[in-house]
A and B are shown apart, each in its own frame.
Chain A
Amino acid sequence: MQLSREELLRAYRQMKVIREFEERLHIDIQTGEIAGFTHLYCGQEAVAVGVCEHLSTEDKIVSTHRGHGHCLAKGCDVNGMMAEIWGSRDGLCKGKGGSMHIADVDKGMLGANGIVGAGAPIAVGAGIAAKIDAKGHVAIAFSGDGACNQGTTFEAMNMAVVTKAACIFVFENNHYSEHTGFEYAVGTQKDIASRAEAFGMKVWRGDGTDFFSVFETMREVLDYVRVPGNGPAAVEFDTERFFGHFEGDPQRYRGPGELDRIRETRDCIKKFRASVTGAGLLTDADIDAVDADVMEAIETAVAKAKAAPRPTPEDVLEDVYISY
């Protein structure tokens, strides 16, 4: 189904916001001003955006340690997110959560998560709630190829099938869990979707470096899961992470020229531009205008984050129901 000009521009902008948000963090982290562990989503933008462009705020997502892309795609405020990562009081979580714990439940974003494999069971609960409410809403668990080996993920898949939860397991296979290869850590099948299939779910597969592949695949998946009584489904997207596992990773596991090659041939943003300009749907000028707009938005977000008030020692005891 053909997307309108507005829809195309919006999807592109969403991907570009994630890309520039991450590229900028990659630079700013090197100054030492940003504290903590940061895992960048760069390279996987087509997955977050191709999934979330189908969702309303009533649909829920549960994310991972590599959560910035999911949060932005689901509608979390760019300024609030940047401020959170900078640890400021204006952050989405008042500086208490940081990069790994960004959440905005009102937007249907039930949290990034520092515990690998913790998200899928939470999505099952949200999917059961969606089933009970019977309004066609869904809950989505984003999981990596590493998280798919966690027992919690297996339990969640089986329980979703048993309870017919309106739940979708989106597996982002970027071929690595930290420094270990997918080929080593995922036994037998070398494939994640077939595991979900074995639990009794309908499964799909798509190219996670191609927005249109993700978007069209998700249309089918969602058409299926939004039908009351159908229960859960799973989808595996093959994708790439452009940076290290965390900022500071020496990436000794990469092959020679691997990063240049994936940036050259597997970049969802480049592919999107080539595809829409090639088909005459948008012009280079259209896309350049979005790029300029996004750069400005990121610049503003950083400026605001830096200027925002810092948390105070008294804030430690806020948001707890009792303190000793």
Chain B
Amino acid sequence: MARMMYREAVLSTIAEEMERDPNVVVLGEDVVGGNGTAGGPEAIGGIWSTSAGLYGKFGGDRVIDTPISESAIVGAAAGLALSGKRPVAELMFADFIGVSLDQIWNQIAKFRYMFGGKTKCPAVIRMAWGAGYNAAAQHSQAAHQILTGMPGLKVVMPSTPADVKGLLRTAIRDDDPVIFLEHKALYGVKGEVPDDKDFMIPFGHARLSRAGNDVTIVSTGLLLGFCEAVADKLAAEGIGCDVIDLRTTSPIDEEAILDSVEVTGRLVVVDEAPPRCSLANDICAMVAEKAFASLKAPPLGVNPPHTPVPFARELETAYLPSIPKIEAAVRKVLSYR
């Protein structure tokens, strides 16, 4: 085991996979930085420091600084993937899927099916997502609610450094397009990470981060930690919470959720995207369909409101699900009959 930050887990996994497989290439804006300047290349190594040192180790053919051209970045990843490479493309902010949506939605997501199953598209599109930095409406959004709804994409949302390691390795070795969503507020978080260079976490396997019999809380990303804090607080009162970290939203581990709800009968889903057509609604609906008889209370979603992400500190705090809001939701489902 090694102790490292979430961002270090991203970087070291990419480096290990580049070492292992010469077909792995990295591309994105400022993933090297300093090209065409007096300071020279490697000025930055990605604005999240998730590609620092890769250019020096693997060179410009495999670590490609791109102009500001998200549509071409994702498109080039598609073309690379159809040509035998394993691109790991970076969109600095998940919000920029807006610029590249055709290449994500109509191109990479559809090749395998549309081409009659005759092709693979092993592209990973990494992006930083989430609020908490007062980065305002165009640099703070969640994108999983949009991307999870697109057939043909696998969508990964790690919450810990160890999960970054295991899931990113699986993503890079996977033969299908994978959207890898890194929560920007987690980049500095440290955790134990297995040293094994083949450590992989399969997609569609949730992780039980707290165990209890009274209520099921499902979440991922930054908010998972909030849910754990609520579970720990309630545990002191003798209330037991299962906290399920989804890890991937597509494929989704329905079994883990259903198994838990069958015991607890109560469900809260905590989601950083606005409520309509959200992951929270999706999971609540799934549980209502498949575990109706087990339910002791209506399933409840905790989401931000149906608004863009506001800028000011007070507004963003009010916007985001918080520990008190999650606790209130849990108490609400507990007090229902």
> Hey, which bits of chain A sit against chain B, CB under 8 A?
35-37, 87-88, 91, 93, 95-101, 113-117, 146-147, 149-152, 176-187, 252-256, 258, 310-313, 315-317, 320, 322-324
Contact = CB atoms under 8 A, between A and B. Distances in A.
Nearest to A317: B305
A320 B304 CA distance: 14
Interface stretch (B66-74, B160-168, B172-180): B66-74
A186 B311 CA distance: 33
B306 A100 contact: no
A179 B96 contact: no
A147 B68 CA distance: 7
Contacts of B65: 180, 184-185
12 contacts: A87-B313, A101-B137, A117-B68, A150-B68, A151-B71, A176-B37, A177-B67, A180-B29, A181-B35, A310-B314, A324-B275, A324-B276
Given A101-B137, A146-B68, A178 B311 contact: no
Contacts, number: 176
Contacts of A116: 68
B69 A150 contact: yes
Instruction: Summarize A's interface: helix, strand, loop or mixed.
Output: loop
A253 B38 contact: yes
Contact of A117 (B99, B274, B318): B99
A98 B43 contact: no
Interface in B70-104: 70-72, 95-96, 98-99
Residue among A87, A253, A315 with max Cβ neighbours from chain B (10 Å) = A253
B30 A95 contact: no
Given A98-B136, A254-B38, A313 B99 contact: no
A35 B314 CA distance: 11
Residue among A176, A178, A310, A313 with max Cβ neighbours from chain B (10 Å) = A178
Contacts of B135: 36-37
Interface in B280-308: 305-308
Interface residues of B, number: 47
Interface of B: 29-30, 33-40, 43-44, 47, 65, 67-72, 95-96, 98-99, 133-139, 274-276, 305-308, 310-315, 317-319
Given A100-B138, A114-B136, A178 B38 contact: no
Contact of B138 (A101, A151, A320): A101
B89 to A, nearest CB: 16
B303 to A, nearest CB: 8
9 smallest A-B Cβ distances: which pairs? A184-B36, A181-B36, A255-B38, A87-B312, A98-B311, A114-B138, A35-B134, A313-B318, A95-B312
A116 B315 CA distance: 25
Given A115-B138, A312-B314, A324-B276, A184 B35 contact: yes
Contacts of A183: 36-37
A115 B99 contact: yes
Nearest to B137: A101
